[in-house]
Amino acid sequence: MKAPAKILSVLFLSGILLSALAVSSLAGSSSPPEDAAQGALVVIRMIDKSTAEWRFEPENVTVSPGDTVRWVQDDIVPHNVEFKDTPKAAKLGEAMFGSFIITRGETYELVIDDRFALGEYAYICTAHVALGQKGVLTVSD
């Protein structure tokens, strides 16, 4: 009886750690969940297209204010979202540089809130831009 209890407590503790990691990886999106539920959910996968090509899929998406963009790690190497070129009126702050997400299925979300002005946002994966991993997020009414 002792061994299974120990395993359970280890599983429980690692669950807490994973939750903490998940929360810290969402540091870029500060809006409360009730705001996130109002707009559409747009999913962009981070994929390994071949041995030397990483991609955001789709590369180009158009969203509206209030939408939530969810990048999903669908690979085994770390990826992130770093904005390189944004409209002048945008004030992304810490969201300019998203932390790396590592585990398949892990997500990074940004709510298109008042940090985002209308216009085009060019972004990259910091680690793999040279290998083609970049995208454009267009915020439009």
**Residues near Cu ion (CB under 5 A):** 54, 79, 125, 127-128, 133
Q: Which residue number is nearest to Cu ion in terms of Cβ?
A: 125
Torsion from C-alpha of 138, 47, 84, 67, nearest 10 degrees = 30
Least separation in angstroms between residue 27's CB and Cu ion is 19
Q: In this complex, which beta carbon is closest to Cu ion, that of residue 25 or of residue 133? A: 133
Can you tell me the distance from the alpha carbon of 54 to that of 57, in angstroms, rounded to the nearest whole number? 10
Least separation in angstroms between residue 86's CB and Cu ion is 20
Which residue in 46, 117, 112 sits closest to 79, CA to CA? 46
Can you tell me the distance from the alpha carbon of 34 to that of 26, in angstroms, rounded to the nearest whole number? 15
Is the preceding omega at residue 58 within 30 degrees of 0, hence cis?
yes
Least separation in angstroms between residue 30's CB and Cu ion is 24
Q: In this complex, which beta carbon is closest to Cu ion, that of residue 48 or of residue 113? A: 48
Q: In this complex, which beta carbon is closest to Cu ion, that of residue 36 or of residue 110? A: 110
